[in-house]
Structure 1
């Protein structure tokens, strides 16, 4: 069997295992899939049983295998990525929510927004290109934890404006690097599991909006020093989610394989080659080294996990030796040398611009221009209980409008970013990823014209504004999760730039070259996910710059037409 065939089979193996698990969970497995599974060397030792039987509901498929006392690896995988998204982004929201109390009187809150997004953009724009070779995930997680904690403590303990802006910038850089890191981490679990990881991570980032705002209101009575000092512990829980909760590839494969066999009648039969599947070690090339580099423990067995390119595990390709587990020194020197050049990265970037990056930039440019520039001017007289019972309970004064818009927005962002993980909805197809951007631009124009001309019927204006803000949140969140899901699950679109690999149709006889190519393909996939992350941050940064003059211009236009509510807030 050629090295190219080995590579093709090894990229498919774990994905078929996961797909087989999903089919078994839905009661849809067939004899054909059973044959495919056996041919790929799936094996189960002993008489172990999966911990529970997944149900057929999309919403419950992840939670039906979760128990409080004995959570399955699938549940832990989903939970860990949800927590990573939640805790990585929560402090970003906390800082924006507390902006007025962090700055001296008269200093525009836009300064906080700029310090809170600029460094994150720098991290996402530069880090994927500056990185040489593999991603060392354990080191990155520790670095993000330390930087974020230190940044928030500086904001909490040092009252000067300059120091607080520096602290906010530190936390922002950590948040941007953390988001980049965890999205890249999803790709090391294989194509199908990458989709699950991206879905749950996106859901966590959506929940961060609600959690962060709520957390600040809870600790607000303690003041900036006490409240932010308490919240500075959040990054430690993020590190715990990575090191203590996130399962290894071996655990996931084991559980999925057992679940497939159990769903097919409860019989377990060893398949030739299965032992190799159990004993193969993961390439630690992606940063989860088993030595002193990584302290994360296998959550079930206590063994050190190694999560990297799933394709390195192939019992059907016994001549393709996986990279060894262990300290960095045990990795063959030729694999240490595998790295993408700047030209390689540009070759990967070009096909990503039009279908993925530019739509994300436009979505977030329009979205945050609405939130920061238009929404503060969408003001109406305080509703009367006789005509607007619910709204009159929520809005007591003019300054209540903007927080209500933001709460509505955050709730719908969480809903849309959870569309894949919680609701089981499909992502937006690649060819339609521009549609949310067009929707956002349309809503921006609509609400800006309402701000100036007040052409909504007065009795419906408040409700219509809330509806459009909700649609804005849905469009933005769905675009985010769909873009990263499409990239994370389309591994075969990656451009192979390895110099040691023959062109299409020419077989390489050197398994070492084939093995190095697998490592390279993993780095390509990590870069593809990483380079797209700049899109949302760039859109937010430009929106922050545009929104300040836009808000002033809209307010002036209202005053010129005899409406001065924006001056009364």
Structure 2
């Protein structure tokens, strides 16, 4: 072989050193897009189910007669015999379930950006699957409220760790996976809340409804290890897989020396200030919408219609998740560069829903249905547009860190909403 030919061969990039989204293989691209949609669906499913079942979970299970344990509402619901107030309240706000469903997520997201890049993705995904299975089993078979809340905590760990893991993983794939992931998470909300409401309304007990949901962690296994095409830049062996013979790392069009494949703590700390323009609007949107969902929704009750109080709450959750699903799937059709439009409108919805709960002036439940769908549209739109902008605008060197770290904003907003919902619930129920 001539020297010229040898030089040409040296200049050829090994396909295994190039991220899969840089190949022109349409089958690979389709598999990755489908995989991220399914991963979004599976990751958020347990989280959504626990919020949809929140009104049921809060019931005192010790008071349920054994012969009623398989009735749709008897497994969780508390039979109230201590009078009626204007809001027909549970003794404890569903904000308690929200806190159990989000505080572990917040802790994970606050700590993960600083050291999780040293843990293989396969290990992180395995933990997500095990905790998701545990959450469904614990809540399904528990007859004690404290144990049920522990099951909700496991769902939170699975969802929080999964969101950080998969959103960070998007940095190694083409930008359109942001859209399919977001659509999948929106579908999780709609399908999950609809499935739970539909199964329980059809007469299946909450316990059996939760056991049916065990198919979801199995689907996550298939999606991640069976459908997703592993990117050569994924963290399997940070010192070898990123690099060619010249010790250069390839992530899309960016090159960097392999010894710098991890950002330092100082670099991460300095870069966080650049993420505030994304995190601020997302935090405010999620605070408003989850204060509505877990602090006000359960207090809005239309008597004398075809739906019971528990059923109304479940269907409020379904319609909210429908709005989220539509907007999280829309980024390839409608994009918003000005992210602050979402918190402004969402806080207007919050004020409106507070007046609806407090003054009980709404003449029909269908108006509330429409408001709740709009609330979901705003929440989903804020989420998908935020991460789409990060994926497009942030330097590839910081993309993985930026995507994962920004997930802290929504969990912080949800956590604060749950904390505020508890005293507001107690104050309103005391009236």
Q: Which residue of structure 2 lines up, in the alignment, with residue 188 of structure 1? A: 172
The unaligned stretches of length 5 or more in structure 2 are: 1-10, 12-17, 61-77, 79-90, 251-256
Per the alignment, do residues 169 and 547 of structure 1 end up closer, same or farther by CA in structure 2, a change over 3 Å counting?
same
Per the alignment, do residues 549 and 336 of structure 1 end up closer, same or farther by CA in structure 2, a change over 3 Å counting?
same
User: Could you give the per-residue CA deviations for residues 15-49 of structure 1, whole angstroms, max 9, x where no partner exists?
Assistant: 9968xx7xxxxxxxxxxxxxxxxxxxxxxxxxxxx
Give the secondary structure class of the aligned counterpart of 1:533.
helix
Give the secondary structure class of the aligned counterpart of 2:330.
coil
Per the alignment, do residues 336 and 135 of structure 1 end up closer, same or farther by CA in structure 2, a change over 3 Å counting?
farther
Q: Which residue of structure 2 lines up, in the alignment, with residue 477 of structure 1? A: 380
Per the alignment, do residues 227 and 408 of structure 1 end up closer, same or farther by CA in structure 2, a change over 3 Å counting?
closer
- What's the Cα RMSD here? 3.3
1:407 aligns with 2:318: yes
Alignment partner of 1:541 out of 409, 412, 415: 415
Alignment partner of 1:287 out of 232, 236, 250: 236
Within 2, Cα distance between the matches of 1:415 and 1:145?
Answer: 26
Within 2, Cα distance between the matches of 1:218 and 1:552?
Answer: 30
Within 2, Cα distance between the matches of 1:453 and 1:488?
Answer: 44
- Checking the alignment, whether the CA contact within 8 Å between 1:144 and 1:175 is kept in structure 2 is yes
Within 1, Cα distance between the matches of 2:259 and 2:22?
Answer: 29
Per the alignment, do residues 451 and 172 of structure 1 end up closer, same or farther by CA in structure 2, a change over 3 Å counting?
closer
Give the secondary structure class of the aligned counterpart of 2:262.
coil
| Counterparts of residues 29-68 of structure 1 (less than 5 Å) | none
| Counterparts of residues 493-508 of structure 1 (less than 5 Å) | none
Instruction: Say which one has the larger Rg.
Output: 1
Q: Which residue of structure 2 lines up, in the alignment, with residue 425 of structure 1? A: 333
Within 2, Cα distance between the matches of 1:177 and 1:186?
Answer: 14
Aligned length: 377
User: Could you give the per-residue CA deviations for residues 206-254 of structure 1, whole angstroms, max 9, x where no partner exists?
Assistant: 11112222333566556455443442342132122011101245xxxxx
Q: Which moved more, 1:80-89 or 1:240-249?
A: 240-249
Larger relative contact order (CA 8 Å, sep ≥ 6): 2
Alignment partner of 1:126 out of 97, 111, 114: 111
The unaligned stretches of length 5 or more in structure 1 are: 1-5, 7-12, 22-49, 52-71, 250-281, 292-305, 324-333, 384-394, 495-520, 558-569
TM-score (norm 1): 0.59
User: Could you give the per-residue CA deviations for residues 37-96 of structure 1, whole angstroms, max 9, x where no partner exists?
Assistant: xxxxxxxxxxxxx77xxxxxxxxxxxxxxxxxxxx2222111110100000111111222
Per the alignment, do residues 398 and 153 of structure 1 end up closer, same or farther by CA in structure 2, a change over 3 Å counting?
closer
User: Could you give the per-residue CA deviations for residues 284-335 of structure 1, whole angstroms, max 9, x where no partner exists?
Assistant: 5x237899xxxxxxxxxxxxxx7x7xxx79xxxx967558xxxxxxxxxx83
Alignment partner of 1:491 out of 394, 417, 420: 394
| Counterparts of residues 190-339 of structure 1 (less than 5 Å) | 193=174, 195-217=175-197, 220=200, 223=205, 225-249=207-231, 282-284=232-234, 286-287=235-236, 321-322=248-249, 335=258, 338-339=261-262
Give the secondary structure class of the aligned counterpart of 1:481.
helix
1:77 aligns with 2:59: no
Within 1, Cα distance between the matches of 2:146 and 2:233?
Answer: 44
